[in-house]
Amino acid sequence: MLGLAFPDIPKSRIRREGQRWKKENARIAKKERRGAIAKKVVDIYSHDLDYRFLYEGVLYFFAVFLKTDMQHLNYRLTRKINLAAKWCPSTDSSFDRSTMLSENCK
């Protein structure tokens, strides 16, 4: 049936275009899911005081430990550096998909 609709275009090219469109649609769906998650996090943060308290406590925890790590690094006290920088969520990391802490750190 593909050959009848497009007699001058090879079937392999039609398949490649179809795969490209599938990937593009998957990429768009992924962005929409992440947007929905972000909206949900903002809604929970704005309405649930317990969640806000926990969220800000975790942000404070990372801020304090990252600050002390930077001070230890400036004084070349590498043995005192903890792993806060390793586990601190960064943008688009798997650790930050559901909480979006890195968006609030900026």
Reported pTM: 0.63
**pLDDT tens digits for the chain (106 residues)?**
554 565 677 777 777 777 888 888 889 998 898 889 889 988 999 999 999 999 999 889 888 999 999 999 999 988 888 888 778 777 777 767 777 777 765 4
Three-state secondary structure along 63-87? HHHHHHHHHHHHCCCHHHCCCHHHH
19 Ramachandran zone, left/alpha/beta (phi>0; psi -120 to 50): alpha
Whole-number Å distance between alpha carbons of 79 and 21: 51
Amino acid 84: pLDDT: 82
Amino acid 105: pLDDT: 57
Amino acid 95: pLDDT: 67
> Per 3-state DSSP, what percentage of the chain is helix, strand, and coil (rounded to 5)?
75, 0, 25
